[in-house]
């Protein structure tokens, strides 16, 4: 009988509880024992480790649709990679993680995380040397290379679209434009997809240079006097500071364009999990369990078309744009961005959306 554990790390999103539920269902169907690590790597710093044995009622099927993570994603009071690097205790921290995993005597660990978590796992892979490490990608940013989708992204797009649908109603009533700021860090995929979905007239993303004067001319050329300008949080405007939406709004106001800013903030990481994310979670959970059966390690599940496959973590790391993590400058993470040949860019052009 295999003994496996699952933990969620990094930022939360919808779909985490679905993948937890599906991993437990699949593992129990194989006759395996499953443990949940509370608070991710932070929970492994507890003595003893903060771990629970999971069964089919731990995350009931009717609760699997809920946002957030039943296992939690971290505790700021505990030691973590960021604190360990800042205090020069990385070697000690890695030993704590390895010792906790060794005491659990696991055959495998399923790590559900983002590009930062996976990069850290690969760069500190000796921590997981005694077990099979299988990673499942989740993030609303969709900034992980080598996969066609990440768990949580579709639900975030749905949340943003629903939010903007309502904003458009008050925009029309008051003849004003709304500058809506999305999450996504340095990747504009969330802004691009939700902007296309809602019918935004301008979408500003970090990957594409834009000219604010051209943006203003474009907005003034539109026959309507209201609409949505979607702004990714990662954009910059030379000579200006503050929140991106506020910077754009000030420029619009100076040009005589009536506008307001709107910040959906954390609702993008909430909401009942969309059906497509639930299906993706089931596919990736099954793929991860098959990988464990095949004794694969240091791999990530990835969607390729309609199929879910595993790719080696070193391939994931090498495939992206490797740069310093904004929260942990001493660590470099692998990042994916909007590609120049993304079909949605052509769609935006055909819809007369200003992007730069």
- Say which of 141, 186, 201, 277 is annotated catalytic: 141
126 is catalytic: no
Q: 3-152+273-319 with 156-268+341-350: one CATH topology? A: yes
Q: Supply the pLDDT for residue 271.
A: 97
Q: Are strands 227-232 and 202-204 parallel, antiparallel or unpaired?
A: parallel
Question: Is residue 245 a contact partner of residue 179, using CB atoms and an 8 Å limit?
Answer: yes
Mind listing the pLDDT tens digit of every residue in the chain (356 residues)?
999 999 999 999 999 999 999 999 999 999 999 999 999 999 999 889 999 999 999 999 999 999 999 999 988 777 788 888 888 898 999 999 999 999 999 999 999 999 999 999 999 999 999 999 999 999 999 999 999 999 999 999 999 999 999 999 999 999 999 999 999 999 999 999 999 999 999 999 999 999 999 999 999 999 999 999 999 999 999 888 899 999 999 999 999 999 999 999 999 999 999 999 999 999 999 999 999 999 999 999 999 999 999 999 999 999 999 999 877 888 899 999 999 999 999 999 999 999 99
Q: In angstroms, rounded to a whole number, what is the distance separating the alpha carbons of residues 275 and 65? A: 9
The CA R_g of the chain, rounded to the nearest whole Å, is: 22
The domain limits of the chain are 3-152+273-319, 156-268+341-350
3-152+273-319: CATH architecture: 3-Layer(aba) Sandwich (3.40)
Q: Supply the pLDDT for residue 216.
A: 98
What does the chain come to in residues? 356
Q: In angstroms, rounded to a whole number, what is the distance separating the alpha carbons of residues 74 and 91? A: 20
Task: Confirm or reject CATH 3.40.50.720 for domain 156-268+341-350, answering yes or no.
Answer: no
């Amino acid at each position: 009988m295999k003994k496996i554990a699952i933990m969620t790390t990094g930022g939360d999103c919808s779909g985490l509880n679905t993948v937890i539920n599906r991993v437990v269902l699949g593992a129990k169907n194989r006759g395996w024992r499953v443990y949940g690590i509370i608070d991710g790597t932070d929970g492994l710093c507890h003595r003893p480790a903060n771990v629970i044995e999971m069964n089919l009622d731990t995350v009931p099927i009717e609760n699997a649709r809920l946002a957030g993570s039943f296992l939690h994603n971290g505790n700021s009071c505990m030691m973590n990679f960021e604190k360990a690097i800042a205090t020069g205790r990385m070697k000690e921290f890695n030993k704590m993680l390895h010792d906790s995993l060794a005491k659990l005597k696991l055959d495998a660990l399923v790590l559900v995380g983002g590009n930062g978590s996976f990069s850290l796992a690969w760069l500190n892979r000796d921590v997981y040397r005694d077990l099979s490490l299988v990673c499942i990608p989740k993030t609303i940013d969709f900034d992980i290379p080598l996969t066609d989708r990440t768990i949580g992204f579709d639900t975030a797009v749905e949340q943003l679209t629903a939010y903007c649908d309502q904003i458009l109603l008050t925009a029309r009533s008051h003849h004003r434009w709304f500058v809506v700021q999305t999450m996504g860090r340095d990747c504009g995929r969330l802004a691009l997809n939700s902007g296309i979905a809602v019918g935004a007239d301008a979408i500003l993303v970090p990957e594409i240079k834009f000219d604010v004067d051209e943006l203003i001319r474009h907005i003034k050329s539109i026959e309507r006097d209201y609409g949505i300008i979607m702004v990714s949080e990662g954009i910059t405007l030379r000579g200006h500071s503050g929140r991106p939406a506020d910077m754009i709004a000030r420029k619009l106001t100076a040009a005589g364009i009536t506008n307001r800013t709107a910040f959906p903030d954390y609702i993008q990481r909430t909401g009942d999990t969309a059906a497509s994310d639930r299906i993706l979670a089931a596919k990736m959970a099954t793929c991860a369990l098959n990988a464990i059966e095949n004794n694969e390690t240091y791999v990530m599940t990835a969607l390729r078309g309609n199929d879910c496959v595993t790719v080696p973590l070193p391939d994931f790391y090498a495939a992206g744009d490797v740069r310093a993590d904004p929260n942990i400058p001493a660590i470099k993470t692998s990042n994916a961005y909007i590609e120049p040949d993304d079909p949605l860019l052509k769609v935006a052009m055909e819809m007369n959306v200003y992007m730069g």
